[in-house]
Amino acid sequence: MSTDAPVFCVNHPQTETLLRCNKCGKPVCLKCVERTPVGYRCKECLNVQRTGYYTATPMDYAITALVGAIASGLAGALAMIIGGLWLIMIFYAPAAGGLIAEIIRRAIQKRRGKYIALVACAVFILGGLAGAGALLLLTWGTRRFDLALLASRLFLNIGIWIFIALGASTVYARLRS
């Protein structure tokens, strides 16, 4: 018969637990622990371990934004040309997103950053829409300029939305790790 005193989580003093972090040994509850391949770790130990993986500098974020904007602008203009052929766009968008992610990764010399994937994803969306809109403006140069009609041609084009959704998700997935 065991007469051990109950152990409580270090973050939630009202929660009784049997779990301990396998690195620091602190008692933690299920809310405060994450399962890793080597056992359960508290979030503090995981954060210390993860910070060593992030080596990106603020300049890498700027490079990501610049390179991503240029590449996704060009890809967005090409997507506008493909536009109505949405079946082709289903294959083009992930390929373009993967290529842009690889260009960004090489531009920042494969350094990792906590928010590099989010920056690249946002820039892909904005650059893709800007590139598609710029192509529309260039092709409409000789016609009467009607901003409402131009916006409707851009935003009601299902191919562009397929490009944005599939391409942005590919960029995010490729750069998050």
The answer to whether residue 1 scores a pLDDT higher than 50 is: no
The closest of 25, 28, 26, 4 to 16, measured between CA atoms, is 28
Q: pLDDT of 37-67, one tens digit each?
A: 888 888 888 877 666 677 888 999 999 999 9
Task: Say how far apart CA 6 and CA 22 lie, in whole Å.
Answer: 19
Q: pLDDT of 2-50, one tens digit each?
A: 557 888 888 888 988 888 888 888 999 888 888 888 888 888 888 776 6
Question: 136 or 105, which is more confident?
Answer: 105
Instruction: Give residue 112's pLDDT.
Output: 87
Q: How far is CA 142 from CA 137, 139, 173, in A?
A: 10, 8, 41
- The DSSP output letter for 26 is -
